[in-house]
C-alpha cells in the first residue's frame, strides 16, 4: 500500500474513532465510569463494533488488518479526551499480541474475532503481592496433571481485572521457569476476582486482585506449546507495551499543554493575563519543546517497531524519557493553574493524577534504567 493511501486510511480511521468517542464516551459517561470504578461492559461491545478494539488483528481472524499505527490512533484519541481509564490499550496494544503470536491456529480462529468484537475482554496477570519488578520471584505455580495444568496462586494490580473474560497468567512450571497460560474466566472453577482496587487516578479502569485455587486449564492453553517459554515471550512483547504506555504519556502531556495555554490566556493577575508573565511563557516554551522532542522520539520508535527493529533497550529508553518528561510537563502546567488546578472539575487535576502511574506500571523508571544500563 502506498504511503499516501495509508495516511488517508489512518485519517479516516482517526475521524471514525473521534466520532465514536464523542458520541459514546461523553464527559458525563466518564464521570459515571470513574464513580463506578470501571467503564460499562456494553461500551466494550460498542467499541468493538466501531472497530476500536485490536485493529491490527489480520483479516483472516476477523480483524480489520491494520498495523500498530491504528492502535496508536485509538490511544491518542482516548488521551485527548481524558479517557485513559478505558482499558482498550491493554486489551489491544498489550495483550492481543500474545494470542496473535503464540496461540495455535485453531485458538486464533476461535478467540481473535471475539477479541475484535469486544465479546472477549483481555487482561494480563504477571504482578503478585510479592513480585512486581522482580518477576522471577513470582509464586504462582502451574503443575501438569494429565491433559491439564492446575494453577494455584495470587495476582494483584491487574488492569481490566474485574472485566476480563480471558487472562494471560504467568506461572512457574517445571524447573521454576515461567510459562504463560490462557485462562478463560467463565470456563474454569477456582478462579475468583478480589477487590476492584481504589486508585488515586484512572478511576474508570478496573484494577484487581485475582485468585487461582486449583484452576484447571487444558494443556493446550499453555502459550507456545512448551513450558518455560514465558519469560522470553514477555520480553518479546514488552517493547510494544512500553510504546503503548509512552504514547499515552505523550497524548496526556500534549493535552495538558493545550489546556494550559488556553487557561493562562484567560486568567488575569496584576492587571495582565497569566500568559503574559515571562515565567509563564518560559515554562510553556520549555513544555512545547519537550512535547516536540517526545513526539519525534515516539514517531521514530514507532517507525522502528513497524520494521520489526525496536528492541528492549529502545522500548525502555522511550518509556523512561516520555513518561518522566510528561510528568514534569504536566506538573509545570498544573502549577500555572494555581489553586484551580487542584480542583477536581479542572481536567488538569485529573491528568496530574492519571499520569503518575506511567512511571511505574509496565516496568518502573528504575527498571527501565537497569535495562538501558545493561546495554552500555
Ligand atoms: C494501576 C496499575 C495497573 C497495573 N496493571 C498491571 C497489569 O495489568 N498486569 C500486571 O501484571 N501488572 C500490572 N501492574 C503492576 C505494575 O507493573 C507493578 O506495580 C510494577 O512493575 C512495579 O512493581 P511493584 O509495584 O511490585 O514495585 P516493586 O517491585 O516493589 O518496586 C518498589 C520500588 O523499588 C524499585 N526497584 C525495584 N527493583 C529495583 C532495582 N533492581 N533497582 C532499582 N530500583 C528497584 C522500583 O523501581 C520501585 O521504585 C499495574 C500496576 C498499577 C499500579
Q: What is the SS3 string spanning 87-146?
A: CHHHHHHHHHHHHHHHCCHHHHHHHHHHHHHCCCCEEEECCECCECCCHHHCCCEEEEEC
* Catalytic (active site) residue 76: no
Quick: pLDDT tens for 361-371: 999 999 999 99
pLDDT band at 2 (very low <50, low <70, confident <90, very high): very low
Measuring from atom 29 of ligand 1, which residue has the nearest CA? 133
| Mean pLDDT computed over 198-224 | 97
How far apart are the CA of 261 and the centre of ligand 1, in A? 34
Residue 3 has pLDDT above 50, yes or no: no
Per-residue model confidence as pLDDT tens digits over 243-292: 999 999 999 999 999 999 999 999 999 999 999 999 999 999 999 999 99
Q: Would you state the pLDDT for residue 7? A: 85
Classify residue 262 by burial, with Cβ atoms within 10 Å: 0-12, 13-18, 19+.
exposed
CA of 133 to the centre of ligand 1 (A): 5
- Selecting among 76, 84, 241, 254, the annotated active-site residue is 241
For residues 210-242, b (16+ Cβ closer than 10 Å) or e, as one string?
A: bbbeebbbeeebbbbeebbbbeebbeebbbbbb
Q: Where in the chain is the domain with CATH 2.40.110.10?
A: 123-227
Q: Would you identify the CATH topology of the domain 123-227?
A: Butyryl-CoA Dehydrogenase, subunit A; domain 2 (2.40.110)
CA of 30 to the centre of ligand 1 (A): 27
pLDDT digits (tens, 9 = 90+) for 32-50: 999 999 999 999 999 999 9
Domain ranges in the chain with CATH number 1.20.140.10: 231-374
Fold of domain 231-374: Butyryl-CoA Dehydrogenase, subunit A; domain 3 (1.20.140)
> Is 195 a residue whose pLDDT tops 70?
yes
- The CATH number of 3-120, from 1.10.1040.10, 3.40.50.2300, 1.10.540.10, 3.30.300.30, is 1.10.540.10
Q: Tell me where in the chain the CATH 1.10.540.10 domain(s) lie.
A: 3-120
Ligand 1 atom closest to the Cα of residue 161 is 8
Question: What residues contact residue 225 under an 8 Å CB cut-off, 6+ apart?
Answer: 104
pLDDT at 1 over 50: no
Flag whether the pTM goes above 0.85.
yes
For 304-340, write each residue's pLDDT tens digit: 999 999 999 999 999 999 999 999 999 999 999 999 9
Amino acid at each position: 500500500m502506498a504511503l499516501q493511501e495509508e495516511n488517508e486510511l489512518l485519517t479516516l480511521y482517526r475521524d471514525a474513532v473521534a466520532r465514536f468517542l464523542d458520541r459514546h464516551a461523553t464527559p458525563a459517561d466518564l464521570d459515571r465510569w470513574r464513580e463506578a470504578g470501571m467503564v460499562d461492559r456494553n461500551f466494550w461491545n460498542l467499541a468493538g463494533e466501531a472497530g476500536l478494539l485490536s485493529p491490527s488483528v489480520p483479516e483472516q481472524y476477523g480483524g480489520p488488518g491494520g498495523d500498530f499505527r491504528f492502535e496508536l490512533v485509538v490511544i491518542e484519541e482516548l488521551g485527548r479526551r481524558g479517557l485513559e481509564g478505558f482499558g482498550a490499550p491493554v486489551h489491544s496494544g498489550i495483550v492481543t499480541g500474545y494470542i496473535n503470536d503464540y496461540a495455535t491456529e485453531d485458538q486464533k480462529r476461535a478467540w481473535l474475532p471475539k477479541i475484535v468484537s469486544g465479546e472477549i475482554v483481555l487482561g494480563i496477570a504477571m504482578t503478585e503481592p510479592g513480585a512486581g519488578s522482580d518477576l522471577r520471584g513470582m509464586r504462582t505455580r502451574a503443575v501438569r496433571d494429565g491433559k491439564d495444568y492446575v494453577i494455584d496462586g495470587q495476582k494483584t494490580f491487574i488492569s481490566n481485572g474485574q472485566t476480563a473474560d480471558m487472562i494471560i497468567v504467568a506461572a512457574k512450571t517445571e524447573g521454576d521457569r515461567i510459562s504463560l497460560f490462557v485462562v478463560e474466566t467463565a470456563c474454569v472453577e477456582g478462579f475468583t476476582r478480589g477487590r476492584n482496587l481504589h486508585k488515586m487516578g484512572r478511576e474508570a479502569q478496573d484494577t484487581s486482585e485475582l485468585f487461582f485455587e486449583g484452576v484447571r486449564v487444558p494443556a493446550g492453553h499453555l502459550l507456545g506449546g512448551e513450558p518455560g517459554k514465558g519469560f522470553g515471550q514477555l520480553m518479546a512483547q514488552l517493547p510494544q507495551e512500553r510504546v503503548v504506555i509512552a504514547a499515552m504519556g505523550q497524548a496526556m502531556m500534549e493535552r495538558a499543554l493545550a489546556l494550559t495555554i488556553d487557561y493562562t490566556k484567560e486568567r488575569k493577575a496584576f492587571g495582565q493575563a497569566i500568559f503574559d508573565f515571562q515565567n509563564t511563557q518560559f515554562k510553556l516554551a520549555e513544555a512545547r519543546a519537550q512535547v516536540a522532542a517526545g513526539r519525534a522520539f515516539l514517531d521514530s520508535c514507532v517507525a522502528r517497531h513497524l520494521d520489526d527493529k525496536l528492541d528492549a533497550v529502545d522500548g525502555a529508553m522511550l518509556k523512561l524519557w516520555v513518561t518522566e518528561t510528561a510528568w514534569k510537563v504536566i506538573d509545570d502546567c498544573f502549577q500555572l493553574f494555581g489553586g484551580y488546578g487542584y480542583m477536581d472539575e479542572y481536567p488538569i487535576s485529573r491528568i496530574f493524577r492519571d499520569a503518575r502511574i506511567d512511571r511505574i506500571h509496565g516496568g518502573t523508571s528504575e527498571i527501565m534504567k537497569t535495562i538501558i544500563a545493561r546495554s552500555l
